[in-house]
Amino acid sequence: MGADRSYAYGAAAGLLGDLLLGDPRRGHPVAAFGRAAAAVERVLWHDHRGWGALHTAVCAGGAVALGVVAERAVRRSPVASVALAGAATWAVVGGTSLAREARIVGRALEAGDMAAARERLPHLCGRDPQALDADGIARAVVESVAENTSDAVVGALVWGAVGGVPGLLGFRAVNTLDAMVGHKSARFRRYGWASARLDDLAGWPGARLTAVLAAAAGPDPRGALRAWRADARKHPSPNAGPVEASFAGALGVRLGGTLSYGGRVEHRPVLNGDAGRAVRVTDIDRAVRLSRRVGLLALGATVAARRLVKGRGK
């Protein structure tokens, strides 16, 4: 069995494992990486871009190195290679947890339990839930589902196809570092710069593939492509823009607008504003179903691309 086939079987098994099992309640490998990265930060932190770049290199480089060592250790055993790729894929993708959290908020909104919905929203995004009404929470959930379909599923599969297990682990490490230190707070404005920029770079291909697949899998492909072309560049994030615009057009809703993060208010451009309607609570489940379809299509597309490239290289 070739390396590309081992990875294909392993990636499929890992995504199936995520669908059936979701994330572990305790002892998640990503959480363990986060604790290690926090320990490195305590040693290295200085209010300087260079020290932040060193932090990024140590943590992300360590994750990639671990993947290289693991792949080399099992390369003579096809079964072990499949198992490793499966375990790594399951560890880094988070589609089931994303869907579960989105639906928990959706059920609370359907029941009219705003307190429960506001309490649960921080599990999905960093918005200030107290500043949102029911429609605002529903919009925040749909936007989070869209963005995290790229960050938690498609982006990982893209880098797994490119670099196997080291690619999977490296992408998740970079994405986690951005969440930890990449935001523009006083402490991390300079120290987290390298992590934020590297995350933008690593997320670029996955975001575009997510946008393409959302258009292909959604109920309104033309609307998705139209919103992507018209509105993606308006978004302050180079990767969230195409994804959220494509989801907005596919679902026929408006995303973006006024947001509140920790007391800081942002006025973002509206995506699909000319053709979309306001987000409703029922759109949460529609967004989750679209996210599921995108993830499955991404698995097929990335595995096929890896096999095609490997085949040409022989």
pLDDT digits (tens, 9 = 90+) for 150-160: 999 999 999 99
Contacts from 181-189 at CB under 8 Å and sequence distance 24+? 181/41, 181/52, 181/55, 187/45, 187/47, 188/52
Distance CA 160, CA 166 (A): 7
pLDDT, position 311: 63
Mean pLDDT of the chain: 93
3-state class of 298 per DSSP? helix
Q: 73-77, 255-259, 284-288, 310-314: lowest mean pLDDT where?
A: 310-314
Distance CA 98, CA 252 (A): 21
Our CA dihedral for 197, 202, 208, 213, rounded to 10 degrees, sits at -140
pTM: 0.94
User: pLDDT above 70 covers what percent of the chain?
Assistant: 96
Kindly give the interhelix angle for 193-217 and 240-251, rounded to the nearest 10 degrees: 20
CA dist 106 → 40, 112, 119 (Å): 38, 10, 12
Look up residue 279 and give its amino acid.
V
pLDDT, position 28: 87
Asked if pLDDT for residue 241 goes beyond 70, the answer is yes
Distance CA 183, CA 195 (A): 9
Rg (CA), the chain: 19
Confirm if 169 and 92 have CB atoms less than 8 A apart: yes
Mean pLDDT for the stretch of residues 171-191: 93
| Domain of residue 30, residue span | 3-313
Per-residue b or e along 281-313, where b marks 16 or more CB atoms closer than 10 Å to that residue's CB: bebbebbbebbbbbbbbbbebbbeebbeeeeee
Total domains in the fold of the chain: 1
For the purposes of burial, counting CB atoms within 10 Å of the CB of 166, is it exposed (0-12), middle (13-18) or buried (19 or more)? buried
3-state class of 35 per DSSP? helix
